Amino acid sequence: MPAIPPFVRALNPPPWFSQVGLNYICATAERFFAVGAVLGSMVQMLTEQPSVRLLKHIIRCYLRLSDNPRAREALRQCLPEQLRDPNFTACLKDDVTTRRWLAQLLMNVGRAGDGGAAGMGGGQPPLPGQ
């Protein structure tokens, strides 16, 4: 797949970067969990075929989702554990911006502490839109 020039991204930001796109994704549980399932499967794929560039985009998507209060609550339960694994994210050692995004994401969902005890209760995660 050819690289997208930076000016194209600046002129046409992906929908998840806009408030309208975030609201659309988080309007129903089905939409949120569909996006979450795709992102989760991409993280799983990265355990077999690492890609720093893709990981950076995935982290940014999760961070943007965490801006929505209902999505943030759901992410406390469904954020992939790999994102908390220092071995998995070691490839970001030279990418200060993405490391900062990841730290902010983990703080947003309350999982930046020791062992991720926050938000690890049983049961179903809260659903966006409910």
Domains of the chain: 6-108 (1.25.10.10)
- Nearest Cα to 61, choosing from 44, 47, 75, 73? 75
**pLDDT for the residue numbered 15:** 59
pLDDT band for position 13 (50/70/90)?
low
Average pLDDT over residues 3-8: 48
Tell me the C-alpha distance between 92 and 52, whole Å: 7
Model confidence over 56-65: pLDDT tens digits? 999 999 999 9
Model confidence over 39-55: pLDDT tens digits? 999 999 999 999 999 99
Residue recorded with tokens 């994704």: 25
Model confidence over 67-83: pLDDT tens digits? 999 999 999 999 999 99
Average pLDDT over residues 110-125: 43
Question: Which pTM does this prediction carry?
Answer: 0.75
